[in-house]
């Protein structure tokens, strides 16, 4: 009888991967109370962008999420809050809150939004991760405005008919103190350093300055008629107070807490709110009576002659936060290379001269851990050493037929077996024609050796080599 042994071998390469980037712009979101919409102003060129965003009924206030990805809009007529996805400028969620929500402020860490419900005398606390109300806090009578301190520790709520400000401890979401201020307070702004809170008093025509360390009024500043909105510049040097009754803006020097100038030119009718850009170069005033927005150059405290037309009855607003682009790159390395594993030995059936020796070689596995976008490969097979025995003539590849068989345990295909054929030359055993990422496949090929009638008895040994690339 003639005995046959087949031997086998081989392995191969590896590769790398690419990066990504982002590009933010500066925008101001303005609530149009008469239209049920929000207008978006591009603050780089002072143009109104696209179609206004439809929200709830009588939108009043806007607060921006710290990273600028969301804007929270209070709808005083429909008793809910619209959440705007600023990437698409569409409403991503609507949150039911209390009766007639007005003021809203988001904590610096972005975990909560505080919404003032005017007719309830409450504040709804929104969990911004789920955009649901987590708790409700009772405050003073007819609350209107709210501002969270820069450290996120307190929220100051102006109670219009209570002539007071409720101070909320944001750690416990309870009222920690109440500060008596002027007559009919409506809005609050906290200085960037957190040391002072400025409260506009509608009927006493002044601003109460609260020392936030002691939660007491440190001074009172006379301003224009019916002061409404207030905002402190990002550098903390000035506070702008919008005077709804006198169509003007009082500019307060925050060092002296005194009015340094009053802007009257190019301020529209019935101004309500004021909002700074992140860099503090401009301030925008919503003019509820004239349906437009005034643009103030804060270096000269003058308003542009061009007023921006928005929707009906613009009131609250919020500008994009300061944003800086950091192009972040990281490398995804290959787990390993592209390898083929084969049995060390295989034995075919014993035959007589003129018959066919046959048998399976055992499992051949290609393992591709290069982590490539194009993970295609081809495994080839060849008879690198013809079958020989002592005193006999070699049996070459033309007499040897290789049949790959089916895929076993395929991972992340597709995989294609090669066609059966002789090993007169190298041929495809298996391949992965397409796809990405790590992958593997196993097959158990069959070898048929046509033994010539003139073969001599003995043990024939040859080497079958698999490779992959």
- Report yes or no: 84 and 38 within 8 Å, Cβ to Cβ: yes
Mean pLDDT within 231-239: 97
- Report yes or no: 95 and 126 within 8 Å, Cβ to Cβ: yes
What are φ and ψ of residue 307, in 5° steps? -95, 140
pLDDT the model gives residue 26 = 86
Segment 147-195, tens digit of pLDDT: 999 999 999 999 999 999 999 999 999 999 999 999 999 999 999 999 9
Mean pLDDT within 405-432: 97
pLDDT at 262 over 70: yes
Burial per residue of 407-417, b for 16 or more beta-carbon CB atoms within 10 angstroms, e otherwise: beeeeeeebbb
Residue 260's nearest CA partner among 247, 244, 281, 241 is 241
pLDDT the model gives residue 400 = 98
At which residue do the structure tokens 């069959």 appear? 446
At which residue do the structure tokens 């001269």 appear? 353
pLDDT the model gives residue 6 = 42
CB proximity list for 386: less than 8 A, separation 6 or greater: 394, 395, 396, 397, 462
Sign of CA dihedral 178, 184, 185, 187: positive
Residue 404's nearest CA partner among 435, 441, 434 is 441
Report how far residue 62's alpha carbon sits from residue 71's, in angstroms, rounded to the nearest whole number. 7
Report the largest interatomic distance among the alpha carbons of the chain, rounded to a whole angstrom. Answer: 120
Report in angstroms the alpha-carbon separations of 84 from 56, 158, 234, 277, 414. Answer: 11, 25, 24, 19, 42
Mean pLDDT within 328-351: 89
3-state secondary structure of 214: coil
What's the pLDDT band for 396 if we cut at 50, 70, 90? very high
Report how far residue 349's alpha carbon sits from residue 448's, in angstroms, rounded to the nearest whole number. 9
Strand order in the sheet with 258-263: 227-232, 238-243, 248-253, 258-263
Strand order in the sheet with 59-64: 59-64, 70-75, 80-85, 90-96
Report how far residue 380's alpha carbon sits from residue 365's, in angstroms, rounded to the nearest whole number. 12
Share of the chain above pLDDT 70, in %: 94
- Report yes or no: 362 and 444 within 8 Å, Cβ to Cβ: yes
Half-sphere exposure of 366 (CA within 13 A, CB side): 31
Mean pLDDT within 77-103: 97
pLDDT at 62 over 60: yes
pLDDT the model gives residue 328 = 82
Report how far residue 298's alpha carbon sits from residue 281's, in angstroms, rounded to the nearest whole number. 6
Segment 201-212, tens digit of pLDDT: 999 999 999 999
What are φ and ψ of residue 460, in 5° steps? -95, 135
Residue 365's nearest CA partner among 402, 404, 335, 326 is 404
- Report yes or no: 40 and 23 within 8 Å, Cβ to Cβ: no
Supply 350's token pair: 């014993």
Q: Measured at the alpha carbon of residue 27, what is the angle toward residues 21 and 30, in degrees to the nearest 5?
A: 150
Residue 135's nearest CA partner among 144, 148, 122 is 122
Q: Strand 2-7 relative to strand 458-468: parallel, antiparallel, unpaired?
A: parallel
At which residue do the structure tokens 């300055």 appear? 209
- Mean residue pLDDT of the chain comes to 93
Mean pLDDT within 426-433: 97
Mean pLDDT within 414-421: 97
pLDDT the model gives residue 273 = 97
At which residue do the structure tokens 């392995």 appear? 11
Report in angstroms the alpha-carbon separations of 188 from 135, 144, 155, 231, 354. Answer: 22, 9, 10, 8, 102
Q: Any idea of the CA torsion for 428, 434, 438, 442, to the nearest 10 degrees?
A: -30
**CA of residue 366 relative to chain centroid, distance:** 38
First to last CA, the chain: 39
Mean pLDDT within 244-272: 98
pLDDT at 129 over 70: yes
Supply 197's token pair: 């809170």
Segment 2-61, tens digit of pLDDT: 443 343 332 222 222 322 322 345 899 999 999 999 999 999 999 998 899 999 999 999
Output helix, strand, coil percentages for the chain, rounded to the nearest 5.
0, 55, 45
pLDDT at 325 over 90: no
Q: Is 62 exposed, middle or buried (0-12, 13-18, 19+ CB in 10 A)?
A: buried
Report how far residue 83's alpha carbon sits from residue 244's, in angstroms, rounded to the nearest whole number. 28
What's the pLDDT band for 263 if we cut at 50, 70, 90? very high
């Amino acid at each position: 009888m003639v005995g046959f042994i087949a031997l086998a071998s081989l392995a191969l390469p590896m590769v790398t991967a690419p990066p990504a980037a982002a590009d933010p712009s500066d925008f101001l979101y303005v609530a149009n109370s008469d239209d049920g919409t929000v207008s978006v102003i591009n603050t780089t060129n002072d143009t109104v962008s696209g179609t206004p965003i439809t929200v709830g009924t009588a939108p009043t206030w806007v607060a921006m999420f710290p990273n600028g990805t969301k804007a929270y809009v209070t709808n005083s007529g429909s008793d809910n809050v619209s959440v705007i996805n600023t990437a698409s400028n569409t409403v991503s969620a609507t949150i039911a809150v209390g009766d007639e929500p007005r003021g809203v402020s988001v904590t610096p860490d972005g975990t909560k939004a505080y919404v003032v419900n005017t007719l309830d005398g409450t504040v709804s606390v929104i969990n911004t991760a789920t955009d649901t109300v987590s708790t409700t806090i009772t405050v003073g009578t007819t609350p209107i405005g709210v501002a969270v301190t820069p450290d996120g520790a307190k929220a100051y709520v102006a109670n219009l008919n209570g002539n007071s400000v409720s101070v909320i401890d944001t750690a416990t979401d309870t009222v920690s103190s109440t500060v008596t201020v002027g007559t009919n307070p409506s809005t609050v702004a906290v200085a960037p350093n957190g040391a002072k809170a400025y409260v506009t008093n509608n009927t006493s025509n002044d601003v109460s300055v609260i020392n936030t360390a002691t939660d007491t009024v440190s001074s009172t500043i006379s301003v224009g008629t019916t002061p409404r909105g207030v905002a402190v510049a990002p550098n903390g040097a000035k506070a702008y107070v919008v005077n709804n009754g006198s169509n003007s803006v009082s500019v307060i020097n925050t060092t002296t807490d005194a009015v340094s100038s009053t802007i009257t030119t190019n301020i529209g009718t019935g101004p309500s709110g004021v909002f700074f850009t992140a860099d503090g170069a401009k301030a925008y005033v919503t003019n509820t009576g004239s349906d437009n927005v005034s643009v103030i150059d804060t270096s000269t405290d003058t308003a542009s002659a061009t007023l921006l037309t928005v929707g009906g009855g613009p009131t609250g607003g919020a500008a994009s936060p300061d944003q800086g682009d950091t192009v972040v790159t990281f490398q995804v390395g290959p787990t390993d290379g592209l390898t083929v594993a084969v049995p060390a030995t295989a034995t075919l059936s014993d035959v007589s001269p003129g018959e066919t020796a046959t048998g399976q070689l055992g499992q051949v596995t290609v393992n591709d851990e290069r982590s490539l976008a194009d993970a295609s490969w081809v495994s080839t097979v060849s008879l690198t050493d013809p079958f020989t025995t002592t005193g006999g003539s070699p049996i070459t590849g033309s007499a040897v037929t290789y049949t790959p068989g089916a895929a076993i345990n395929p991972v992340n295909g597709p995989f294609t077996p090669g066609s059966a054929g002789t090993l007169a030359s190298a041929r495809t055993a298996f391949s992965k024609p397409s796809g990405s990422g790590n992958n593997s496949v196993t097959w158990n090929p069959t070898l048929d050796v046509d033994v010539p009638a003139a073969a001599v008895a003995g043990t024939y040994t040859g080497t079958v080599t698999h490779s992959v690339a």
